[in-house]
Amino acid sequence: MKNLLYHLAREQVRGKKKEKKEDPGGKLSVTHQAITIDGRELKFTATCGYMKIKGEEDKVKGSIFFTSYELDGVEEMSARPITFCFNGGPGCSSMWLHFASIGPKRVGLTEKGNFLPPPGTLIDNEYTWLQFTDLVFIDPVGTGYSRPGKDQEADYFYGVKEDLESVGEFIRLYVTKHKRWTSPKFVAGESYGTTRAAGLSGLLQDSLGVDLNGIVLISAVLDFQTIQMRQGNDLPYVLFLPSYTATAWYHGKLSPAMQKDLPKTLKEVEEWAMTTYLTALAKGDGITPEEKDRIAERLSACTGVSKTFAKVNNLRIPQHRFCKELLREDSRTAGRLDSRFKGIETDPAGEAPEYDPSFFKGPFVTAVNDYVRNTLKYENDLPYTPMSPEVNHAWKWNYPRSDYPGFLNVAEVLQKELNRNPYLQVLVACGYYDLATPYLASIYTANHLGLEEDRRDRVSLTYYESGHMMYYHRPSLVKFTKDTKDFYQRAMSVKAIEID
């Protein structure tokens, strides 16, 4: 099945390469709308369409599709923040943040976060960030409706550096054309979008002279060594462990003692993972049989899988094998993006899940196509690409140079900006049941930013009883919105700092 999915993705890529290139454009669509939140009517202007990204000789390199929402009646723009929002991938549009969490409309989901019967319903979003910031949703080239120029090779945009430059140029053009240079500026990214957000904090200042007031990192990955399970890299196995524990707890697979109190259990597992377990893995083949047996027994207790399973995996349990093994006896598999979800598979005995039961896109694609045309009044017959295998497969990961080896790590960019800009604030939102970007990896990265003690409180972490898209879960969406609103208030109230 894994090979089948791979070949299907390859065929999709080949098919896209044969498509005739179109040059999307035309005028922007501007509409005036309103929603009511807690008895207060919010009137706003919605703008959608393309921003042309140009190169030398004024040649169009690509067209970036965006949707923006600006509150009406604001007299002083210097007091009204603006936030540039994007999802990750690489190769994902901004569809999920736009229509599940941040925008003025959201797709209706169940309390737990599952989708409703097709085609789904779009409802007013009482949790929209428009309450405290204007919003701009960006679809990078190759995603959504965004496309490369007619005479431009698509992979011109497909890389860490290339992506930062094109999105950075979009932000520069937007604040120029919409007269927002004096507004406080924020970026909000999810998953690989957090990589982009951290990288932008440096590029915007170094190349464009734009200082940020705040960054919201949702399900973050800044240092890819923390999540990429490769031969010789033991760190992810340590950092994923508490998320395995949370998953096993949710599905009732831990011992009665460990099932009693999740926060207490997670603290104990975090401590053991970062000390005893990390040390044991560092010994490699030098670990004694007795110690290996003890570690396997404890690993079994923390994950809900058998001691034998822990041993045959050499004490290093890959995420895909864990998702398959935990619920194997129930003929189910746990989700990767949100391990609360369970899937039914045709091959319960297989090594890896056939699909991720926590990932769905149908209701959101429906929402985009209907909302853009019928509410935002933008005519566009191009297919909307929620996520692109072509972009993902073509991505150039070497950064900051083409010959740069090793794991991508933009945490050092964020560290530099936190030291350079004493007003920059960072919020990191983490889901306990996220098996794509585990929460302990965010803690680890934050603890290795190398900040002086008096600057560490400018990076705050919040936690949710949900997964990668923590906002799917209604109680987590409520908490996430409140946490974000409080973060903006802190970032906007920072006082002037005297130079030492």
* Helix (H/G/I), strand (E/B), else coil: 26: coil
Of residues 170, 165, 213, 163, the one with CA closest to residue 188: 213
Domain boundaries for CATH 3.40.50.1820 within the chain: 24-225+363-492
| Structure-token pair, residue 232 | 């010789």
Q: Please state the rounded mean pLDDT for residues 226-235.
A: 95
CA distance 277 to 271: 9
Per-residue confidence (pLDDT) for residue 25, from 0 to 100: 63
Q: Which of 261-270, 345-354, 438-447 has the lowest mean pLDDT?
A: 345-354
Per-residue confidence (pLDDT) for residue 448, from 0 to 100: 96
Parallel, antiparallel or unpaired: strands 459-464 and 425-431: parallel
For 383-403, the DSSP string reads PPBSB-HHHHHH-B---SSTT
CA distance 204 to 6: 36
Element containing residue 85 per DSSP (H, E): strand 82-86
| Distances, alpha carbon 401 to alpha carbons 91, 193, 327, 362, 427, in Å | 21, 20, 43, 38, 28
Under CATH, which architecture does the 24-225+363-492 domain have?
A: 3-Layer(aba) Sandwich (3.40)
Element containing residue 48 per DSSP (H, E): strand 40-54
CA distance 187 to 204: 11
Sorting pLDDT into bands at 50, 70 and 90, what band is 243?
very high
**Is residue 241 within 8 Å of residue 214, measured between CB atoms?**
no
Mean pLDDT, all residues of the chain: 91
Sorting pLDDT into bands at 50, 70 and 90, what band is 10?
very low
Q: Please state the rounded mean pLDDT for residues 179-193.
A: 97
* Helix, strand, coil percentages, rounded to 5, for the chain: 45, 20, 35
For 281-329, the pLDDT digits (tens) are 999 999 999 999 999 999 999 999 999 999 999 999 999 999 999 999 9
| Distances, alpha carbon 403 to alpha carbons 166, 397, 399, in Å | 21, 10, 8
CA distance 451 to 88: 26
Please give the span between the terminal C-alpha atoms of the chain, in angstroms, as a whole number.
61
Count CB atoms within 10 A of the CB of residue 326: 24
**Is residue 53 within 8 Å of residue 64, measured between CB atoms?**
yes
Per-residue confidence (pLDDT) for residue 179, from 0 to 100: 94
CA distance 106 to 336: 23
Per-residue confidence (pLDDT) for residue 214, from 0 to 100: 97
**Is residue 428 within 8 Å of residue 217, measured between CB atoms?**
yes
For 60-118, the pLDDT digits (tens) are 899 999 999 999 999 899 999 999 999 999 999 999 999 999 999 999 999 999 999 99
Sorting pLDDT into bands at 50, 70 and 90, what band is 3?
very low
For 362-391, the pLDDT digits (tens) are 999 999 999 999 999 998 889 999 999 999
Handedness of CA 342, 347, 353, 355 (dihedral sign): negative
Per-residue confidence (pLDDT) for residue 2, from 0 to 100: 36
Sorting pLDDT into bands at 50, 70 and 90, what band is 230?
very high
Per-residue confidence (pLDDT) for residue 499, from 0 to 100: 67
Handedness of CA 300, 301, 302, 305 (dihedral sign): positive
pLDDT at residue 7 tops 50: no
For 412-435, the pLDDT digits (tens) are 999 999 999 999 999 999 999 999
> If you search the block for the tokens 């200042």, which residue do you land on?
205
pTM check: above 0.85: yes
**For residue 106, what are the contacts with CB-CB under 8 A and spacing of at least 6?**
99, 100, 122, 123, 125, 127, 128
CA distance 432 to 14: 37
